[in-house]
Structure 1
Amino acid sequence: MARENTLDNIFTDYDESIFSDGSIDPMGLRIIWTSIGSKIFHNKLNTISTDIKLYTLNLFHHYLLQKCASEEEDGVNKLIRKKPYFNKSDLFEGMVIFLENLLINATYNLGDSSLVVPGKNKLSNLKNNESKRNTIEKISVNRDKGILVRQYLLGIHGRHKGPFLQMGVFKQNEEDIYNNPEVWKEASEIFKSSPWKEAEIVLTELIKNKLLNFTIKANAFIEYKVEDVLTKSIEEKYVALLKKDIYVDEAIRSFWLNRLGLKEDTAGILYKAYLKQKVKGLNFQKIIVSAYSESNDPYLGAINAIEPLLTLIDKCINRILSSATSKIDDDLKEFIDHWLKNNEVDPGKITAYLSVDYINQEAINRLQKLLDIYINASQSDKSAENFIINLIKYHEDIMKTRGNLNWVSIGADNKIFVHRSIYISDPHLTYLKSMTWVNSYYLPTVDSLHKGLTNEAA
């Protein structure tokens, strides 16, 4: 039976849940801090898309497709409305995967380990595997045939489709996804100079002559042997696009700062604070605290109120997950007691931000439960034991809703069973005792993107 795609399957918001929270987030805290961060950055940033080079390469690929589609409308219409391309999104998604695979092969062929794109290492492994080499001899206009197993999610386009949608680069209409003339006019200005212009010429010729001028037979996907499409010229032009210094360009910088919203509202306040603080040494917690003290911005107020509780919860569960834990002993109680008596948690301040204006409803529900656990333990005669028992039970409930195995569980006699333990060294224990915040609310992404736009050392 034919698989029918809709735009919602393809050009949708980036879903960070494809990296299972069950493997990294035993207390379900991620949804809380990302909920606040998403409100601030309007879903334009995530923890995966951090390289301005890949942002720009993705824009370039879609600029080429938009340009070719508008100039070769008949060629597009000839290929769609039938197997295997039921609509334009099927075709464009396949074409961008095709271009990514071309780029990966070009980068691999150069043999320069300093040039990195998603999929290059995987291609190298496949080429070194005799039984798998035949799987990479061809590249297809097929969203399911990337070099990466889930390239439509984890490749260059996949990592950026959510931010691109939120920035308005993509439209949600599956038949008119490139209908934002302002974006493509600005993109044409960015890509009119070297080395973009030279790459545009050879890749536009490939798209028009090889992809849009293809006669589909027996409902098969457009497909070519790599050697038949990856010319020396294309290889050289692609590799030229991987040089970091070409991204230190005012047009590129202005395009992304405007589209990413780093010049206005709360995101703009944070970006200014980041630029001011980074010369003194990068400390994301200090940046957020400083930005709030200077602006009194309500979203930053939410972080300053909520993050101390998230940090307490995170560090306490990590201490419980120690490979040495088997019961509620004196060392564990001492650690928990220290946190319950020495913290910056203010229940009243947190309650003021339990609103969908700041975090989503599921985050509100989780935060309220965690706050209740903290308050109840603080008022208990046996505060540490109360807190440990209820924290583990909360974890068990979270993992049950996910359908994941518990990292830790507690028996009727309060014996603790750690199923996924952590070795805690002395330096790590010192960190767990400190009130240093755990979450940084997409500021590492801001830092990485800024460095890419200025060619600063990482």
Structure 2
Amino acid sequence: MFIKQFFTEFDDTLTQSLNIDPLGMTMIWSRLGQDIFHNRVSSISNDVRNYTLNLLHHYVIKRVVEAQTQLSRGLQAVYGHTDTLAFKQACLIYLENLFVFSMLEAEEQQQVSVQTQGILGTSKARLLISSGAPTQPLKFTREQSGQLLVRQLTLGVSGRYKTPFTEMLFFDKEYRYHQPQSAVSWEKASNFFQENEELNGLANALFEHLQEVIKQDAKVPAILWQDVSKPIKQAYAQQFATPAVVGKQSKAFWLNVTELDQNAAGSLYEIINTQTDETGSAQPFFEQAIENENNAFEKQKLVDICHVEPLLAECELLFSVLMSQRVQTEEEVYQRYLGLERNVNSIIHLARELQHDIDIKAKFSGVAKKRYEALLALAQLDNTDSQANMTLLVDALLKYHCAIMNQRGQSPWVERDSQGDYRCHIKSRTLPTAAQRPYKTWFNRYYLDQFSQLIRGLEGKSND
């Protein structure tokens, strides 16, 4: 049997915002955003508490590997030895679950003022508690039976923060800690724990606890909740009570290893940290960062975003016009667009401004490059304002949209019907007014909100 016939190659066109990004622009703006943040900040990795929790758990597991502890015969049959990906994954799931139950117990008993919002896995953990767990044993396994989240290895703390930690050279994709390039990062981490007595005490207690767990001669060791020491449960609650609590003791370390207070990210950091409201457009933050940034190379990263975003935003607005009614004629679309104080040239002009910028084009590769170039191709259309040229522009945008949806194996959200009208197949959108959405107003936020959340935690501020 040829097993390859049952599998397909990874396709990155299918994994980006399937249900919220009809123009496939996430690939474009995220590439420009990560040019600044270097994958330290994303939609799923932006919480200093989870950052530090992941560091703690990997630090403990690394020590277990270095201790060359012999696994029980039962665990050897499953994992072989401690320096394997599967064993480390089992450790990560077990420790994450231990943390979740510790935090919920502290919340219930009001031992420590803890904030459980933002803790991954609490929903299932609460259900287990209400049904009599965690008096039932905690399982040491990487299989779904021991997970508090569906696909916890991907969607749990370790999965969400794997990319940032890999980028910071703590380990590679196989969780190998002892690569030459990882030595500096782990030296900094070791110093951080040594300088934080209580957090280091928790690390030591978890190390000893894991040593006992892996001595159990079973393929899936089971640990009774009451057998987990109270100091471990209490230390989890005290050291990770809120993101602000974690940030106060870890700010210097994280800024040192992430370098998010330097270069273009640092310019944004300074502005965000002095603002009380980040709910408005991201545009003024980036424009102010350009003024503050002295390094020409870093400044250009901010400038490129300011140049590209108006095109993305205006394409999004035109598509919103197409989604604003269930059925529209060409004339109705044109008039609604004019009502937003736009015309045929509004998008075409922006595409023409960008079409010869080779440096921006060079930032993209693969699917993102194809999509960006497809938007730039709108520059070739006739920009004379007329109903006929408006129809050509709309049809070009719809062709682009349909190509993206075909790549995903999904139906278009908007398309021409048999009468030649534009028909929207999903819930209609409410259009902004021209005053609410002036020309070139930004739509995408380039991780500004996620960066703001991380900064609030680092600065010891509440995320409420």
The TM-score, its normalising length taken from structure 2, stands at 0.82
Partner of 1:61: 57
- Which residue of the partner structure matches residue 208 of structure 1? 211
**What aligned pairs does 1:57-456 form with structure 2 within 5 A after superposition?**
57-70=53-66, 72-75=67-70, 82-84=77-79, 88-112=84-108, 114-116=115-117, 117-127=119-129, 137-142=137-142, 144=144, 145-172=146-173, 175-176=176-177, 180-192=182-194, 193-211=196-214, 213-216=215-218, 220=219, 222-227=220-225, 229-244=227-242, 245-249=244-248, 252-275=250-273, 278=275, 283-295=281-293, 297-322=299-324, 324-328=325-329, 330-337=331-338, 338-340=341-343, 341=345, 345=350, 347-353=352-358, 355=360, 357-373=362-378, 375-376=380-381, 378-379=383-384, 381=386, 382-424=388-430, 431-432=436-437, 435-456=440-461
Could you tell me how far 1:178 is from its partner in structure 2?
6.8
How big is the shift at 1:445?
2.0
CA offset digits 1:294-327 (Å, max 9, x no partner): 54522222111110000001122123222x2302
CA shift, 1:406, in A, is 2.0
Aligned residues of 1:373 and 1:387 also touching (Cα < 8 A): yes
CA contact (8 A) 1:137 1:225 kept: yes
Q: Distance in 1 between matches of 2:360 and 2:286?
A: 20
Distance in structure 2 (CA, Å) of the matches to 1:135 and 1:421 = 46
4+ residue segments displaced more than 6 Å: 15-19, 77-81, 133-136
Q: Which moved more, 1:381-390 or 1:264-273?
A: 264-273
Structure 1 pair 88–423 and aligned structure 2 pair: CA distance change class (3 A): same
3-state DSSP of counterpart to 2:284: helix
Specify whether residues 229 and 88 from structure 1 end up closer, same or farther in structure 2 by C-alpha distance, changes over 3 A only: farther
Quick one: structure 1 residues 77 and 223, their matched pair in 2 at CA, closer, same or farther if it must change by over 3 Å?
closer
Query: Following the alignment from structure 1 to structure 2, what is the Cα–Cα distance between the partners of residues 53 and 68?
Result: 23
Unaligned runs of 5+ in 1: 1-14
With structure 1 as the length reference, what TM-score do the two structures score? 0.83
C-alpha contact 1:39 1:359 (8 A) present in aligned 2: no
Report how far residue 290 of structure 1 moved.
2.5
Q: Secondary structure at the match of 2:423?
A: strand
SS at match of 1:339: coil
Seen in structure 2, the aligned counterparts of structure 1 residues 136 and 421 have a Cα distance that, compared at 3 Å, is farther
**Which deviations, in whole Å up to 9, do the C-alpha atoms of 1:213-234 show, x marking residues without a partner?**
2334xxx3x3314425434332
Matched positions, count: 432
AA paired with 2:322? I
CA contact (8 A) 1:377 1:384 kept: no
Consecutive unaligned residues in structure 2, runs of 5 or more:
1-10, 109-113
> How far 1:444 moved relative to its partner?
1.8
Q: Is the 8 A contact 1:50 1:445 kept in 2?
A: yes
Given the superposition, is the C-alpha separation of residues 318 and 280 from structure 1 closer, same or farther in structure 2, using an over 3 Å criterion?
A: closer
Contact 2:54–2:158 (8 Å) recurs in 1: yes
CA contact (8 A) 1:380 1:386 kept: no
SS class of match (2:217): coil
Question: Structure 1 vs Structure 2: percent identity of aligned residues?
Answer: 22
- The answer to whether the 8 Å contact 1:315/1:433 transfers is no
- Tell me how far apart the structure 2 counterparts of residues 246 and 178 of structure 1 sit (CA, whole Å): 32
1:8 alignment partner in structure 2: none
CA gap 1:141/1:430 in 2 versus in 1, 3 angstroms: farther
* Contact 2:261/2:269 (<8 A) preserved: yes
The Cα RMSD (Å) is 3.3
Cα pair distance change 1:387/1:229, threshold 3 Å: farther
Letter in 1 for 2:207: T
CA contact (8 A) 2:185 2:257 kept: no
Q: 3-state SS of the aligned residue for 1:409?
A: strand
Pair 1:125–1:374, CA change in 2 (3 A): farther
Q: Is the contact between residue 36 and residue 299 of structure 1 (CA under 8 Å) also seen in structure 2?
A: yes
